[in-house]
Chain A
Amino acid sequence: MSFRHILAITRKEFNHILRDRSTMILVVFTPLVMLLLMAYALTVELQHIPIAILDYDRSATSRDFVQQIVSGNDLDLYAQVGSIAEIEDLLMHGDVKAALVIDPNFSRDLLAMRGMPMQVIIDGTEPESGGFAVEHIASRAEEFANKALSTQIQMMGFSADALNPLDLRIRTWYNPGLKPRNDLIPGLISMVLGMPALSVALALAHEREHGTMEQLMATPIGRGELLIGKMIPYIVAGLVNVVILPLLAISWFNVPFNGSFPLFFALSALFMFAVLSMGIIIGVFMKSQAAAMGVSFLMIFFPGFFLTGIFFPIVSMPEIMRLESLGMPGTHYATITRGIFLPGVGMEILWPYAVMLVLLGFSFTGIASLFFKKKLG
């Protein structure tokens, strides 16, 4: 291993990346753009959903109830209407995503502890907003009922603690393809950080396709030196993203980051090593850039959707898929990322995943240099 040889390759590779602005943007900012696109396409952020309210009861209690429903950031009162026909109109025009109809017997039944007769109508074309409105109204109704009833009960001379509060929780239909941002974004980050592996696979295939690989093989640069030298710039580009992406998640999407950032950075570096080694294998085996591109998507990103547990839980997978999933750096890294972001766990829990990344990294580099001969044909 000659440091000078590795440096020669690394420097050249940096020159390729920095040769013009568009290449640099492509290598450095693609993960960021991918994260933004997928975050907006695959997640929902529910706030300020416009609703209409039709209050048939018109009592002091029902007015209090309406006040409570729209007091937060989640639901906005678009209009208070007088008839079902008006609601239909507003829903048809998309002005509101849901409407709450308060029954004429609302306050009477509530005070008599018979229930809270009301109805929520939602826009079926936007079930996620509608469903969220239903959930929100239900939980507010529960709070409202409990408060109203405890007052009532105390007035009747009982202790409020003695009573089980009414359980008004409603099970709502829920679209499993869409997840709240906080859950999904850490997983997405782990996936888009695999991007540099595609770049390195393409860079190797490019040398082969343009005949410069032959020239390289005639130099005294060894195959290990060549592969390591090629990897370094993409590890650096990846690590830049390891810093940028969590910052974006925290500041733009308000995703909480509860763990240790130095730990996240260190484990991300291990992931870069593992996933780039996988990119190197692809670059070594594929003769053209087009082929390298296709296989990279299959091996680096496609499994990301299915095997990293981002969209489907790993436990619900068939046995073989689960084994393959263990061989993907992304699987372990997704667990690490989510663990550090949300529960904020540390090495005491994440060490097996870190060990797996190291093992995968070394086996992939081993396989790559075994098959990457300084020979043609």
Chain B
Amino acid sequence: MTPAIITNNLTKRFGDFTAVNGINFEAKRGEIFGFLGPNGSGKTTTIRMMLGLLAPSAGDVQALGISVKGNQAELQQRVGYMSQRFSLYNDLTVQQNLQFYGAAYGLNNTDLKSRIQDALVMAGLEGRENAKTKDLSGGWRQRLALSAAILHRPELIFLDEPTAGVDPISRRAFWDLLYQLVADGVSVFVTTHYMDEAEHCHRLAFIQRGNIIARGTPAEIKKNMMQGQVLEIASSDAVNTIKILRAAESLDLQEVELYGSLVHVVAQNVEKKKKDIQKLLKKEKIQIEDMAVIEASLEDVFIASMK
């Protein structure tokens, strides 16, 4: 089967400014492809080009095996989109929103009825059909937006920061839905800046200022991008631990970052530096409760690569 998405030197310039700079990647069918990047890095611009809403300045993109350019109408019927800005009508009810998007994709009344029922079940909104969408909390709304975007059973769905500003439990519930979709054979392209979500993707691309700086499975990215290991330290005083370790130039540490209440240190041969670190902290009267070399998380990689 052809890949879900192939981009070929895809580029978008706004005047002198290059928002997306010749990016290349491939998203496989039936997988979650994560597109990671900080604010303004070009994620939305890329999605718009993949949907045919923006014409590329150079390069091209294929979705579901056909070129986006010139086939916009066919593709629009076969893909789904949940835009970054709230994609539902706030002033309409749950039912009215679902009805509209179903009809927009040409569903007939019988199909529409059963699909709306499915969507309500999926979003967990049975019995709340007549609630105004603006009265739903963020998590419900995002799940509703997702179920609206797949009413027409797209083969590929684009989600632009679908969980931004949503509480962790709702985010988990949203990702459970994505896994269900993938289990049903849908290909998912999702942008995010949450690192924990990136870990859940089958494949990733990091974009920064319009350039892809890393791509692959989460494991590949960690292996390729991380120049060192991560040492996790639980101490009596995390803030001072960071201060002291950052000042200790002789140790040659690449990164010293706060990670929850813990401290993550990134360095080459970190195992050998453990003793020196212990000594140094002891001298400053900081108690080390636990210290272990751990597997790097994507967040460690991401922060390291941003420097």
- Interface residues in chain A, defined as those with a beta carbon under 8 Å from any beta carbon in chain B: 2, 4-5, 7-9, 11-12, 15-16, 19, 210-212, 214-221, 374-377
Q: Is the CB of B53 within 8 A of A217?
A: yes
Min distance, Cβ A84 to any Cβ of chain B, angstroms: 67
Contact of A5 with B104 at beta-carbon distance under 8 Å, contacts A210-B86, A214-B85, A218-B76 already known: yes
> What is the bound-complex CA distance between A221 and B107, given in angstroms?
12
Contact of A220 with B53 at beta-carbon distance under 8 Å, contacts A19-B91, A376-B48 already known: no
Q: Is the CB of A220 within 8 A of B106?
A: yes
Contact of A211 with B85 at beta-carbon distance under 8 Å, contacts A5-B104, A375-B54 already known: yes
A and B contact pairs by CB, cutoff 8 A, 21 listed:
A4-B108, A7-B103, A8-B100, A8-B103, A9-B104, A16-B89, A19-B92, A210-B90, A211-B83, A212-B86, A212-B87, A212-B89, A218-B51, A218-B83, A219-B104, A219-B105, A220-B73, A374-B72, A375-B54, A377-B14, A377-B54
Q: Is residue B206 within 8 Å, beta carbon to beta carbon, of the partner chain?
A: no
Q: Which of B51, B83, B90, B132 has the most CB of A within 10 A?
A: B83
A5-B103, A15-B96, A220-B76 known; 5 new pairs, CB 8 Å cut-off, are A210-B90, A215-B83, A218-B83, A220-B106, A377-B14
Residues of B within 8 A of A2 (CB): 106
Residues of B within 8 A of A211 (CB): 83-87
Q: Is residue B25 within 8 Å, beta carbon to beta carbon, of the partner chain?
A: no
Q: Is the CB of B103 within 8 A of A4?
A: yes
> What is the bound-complex CA distance between A12 and B104, given in angstroms?
10
Residue of B nearest to A220 (CB): B76
Q: Is the CB of A218 within 8 A of B91?
A: no
Q: Is the CB of B55 within 8 A of A215?
A: no
> What is the bound-complex CA distance between A229 and B110, given in angstroms?
22
Residue of B nearest to A207 (CB): B89
Q: Which residue of B54, B73, B100, B108 contacts A12 across the interface (Cβ within 8 Å)?
A: B100
> What is the bound-complex CA distance between A220 and B55, given in angstroms?
17
> What is the bound-complex CA distance between A11 and B55, given in angstroms?
31
> What is the bound-complex CA distance between A343 and B183, given in angstroms?
74
> What is the bound-complex CA distance between A91 and B159, given in angstroms?
76
Q: Which residue of B48, B53, B86, B99 contacts A11 across the interface (Cβ within 8 Å)?
A: B99
A-B pairs, top 7 by smallest CB distance, nearest first, are: A211-B85, A8-B103, A218-B81, A219-B104, A215-B87, A12-B100, A220-B76
Residues of B within 8 A of A7 (CB): 103
> What is the bound-complex CA distance between A68 and B55, given in angstroms?
82
Q: Is the CB of B76 within 8 A of A219?
A: yes
> What is the bound-complex CA distance between A15 and B133, given in angstroms?
13
Min distance, Cβ A320 to any Cβ of chain B, angstroms: 36
Min distance, Cβ A96 to any Cβ of chain B, angstroms: 55
> What is the bound-complex CA distance between A8 and B151, given in angstroms?
14
> What is the bound-complex CA distance between A351 and B206, given in angstroms?
65
Contact residues of B between 43 and 100, Cβ < 8 Å to A:
48, 51, 53-55, 72-73, 76-77, 81, 83-92, 96, 99-100
Residues of A within 8 A of B175 (CB): none
Q: Is residue B140 within 8 Å, beta carbon to beta carbon, of the partner chain?
A: no
Contact of A4 with B106 at beta-carbon distance under 8 Å, contacts A12-B100, A215-B83, A220-B76 already known: yes
Residues of B within 8 A of A220 (CB): 73, 76-77, 104-106
Contact of A219 with B101 at beta-carbon distance under 8 Å, contacts A5-B106, A376-B54 already known: yes
Residue of A nearest to B76 (CB): A220
Min distance, Cβ A377 to any Cβ of chain B, angstroms: 6
> What is the bound-complex CA distance between A12 and B103, given in angstroms?
10
Q: Is the CB of A215 within 8 A of B48?
A: no
> What is the bound-complex CA distance between A15 and B100, given in angstroms?
10
Residue of B nearest to A4 (CB): B106
Q: Which of A12, A211, A374 has the most CB of B within 10 A?
A: A12
Residues of B within 8 A of A8 (CB): 100, 103-104
Contact of A221 with B54 at beta-carbon distance under 8 Å, contacts A12-B96, A16-B91, A210-B85 already known: no
> What is the bound-complex CA distance between A16 and B134, given in angstroms?
13
Min distance, Cβ B82 to any Cβ of chain A, angstroms: 8
Residues of A within 8 A of B104 (CB): 5, 8-9, 216, 219-221
Residues of A within 8 A of B89 (CB): 12, 16, 212
Q: Which residue of B53, B81, B86, B105 contacts A376 across the interface (Cβ within 8 Å)?
A: B53
Q: Is the CB of A16 within 8 A of B92?
A: yes
> What is the bound-complex CA distance between A5 and B104, given in angstroms?
6
> What is the bound-complex CA distance between A376 and B86, given in angstroms?
17
Min distance, Cβ B13 to any Cβ of chain A, angstroms: 11
> What is the bound-complex CA distance between A216 and B81, given in angstroms?
10
Min distance, Cβ A376 to any Cβ of chain B, angstroms: 5
> What is the bound-complex CA distance between A248 and B230, given in angstroms?
80
Contact of A214 with B100 at beta-carbon distance under 8 Å, contacts A4-B106, A19-B91, A220-B105 already known: no
> What is the bound-complex CA distance between A221 and B101, given in angstroms?
10
Residue of B nearest to A16 (CB): B91
Residues of B within 8 A of A12 (CB): 89, 92, 96, 100
Q: Is the CB of A375 within 8 A of B96?
A: no
Residue of B nearest to A20 (CB): B91
> What is the bound-complex CA distance between A220 and B73, given in angstroms?
6
Residues of B within 8 A of A216 (CB): 104
> What is the bound-complex CA distance between A214 and B132, given in angstroms?
22
> What is the bound-complex CA distance between A373 and B293, given in angstroms?
56
> What is the bound-complex CA distance between A318 and B72, given in angstroms?
49
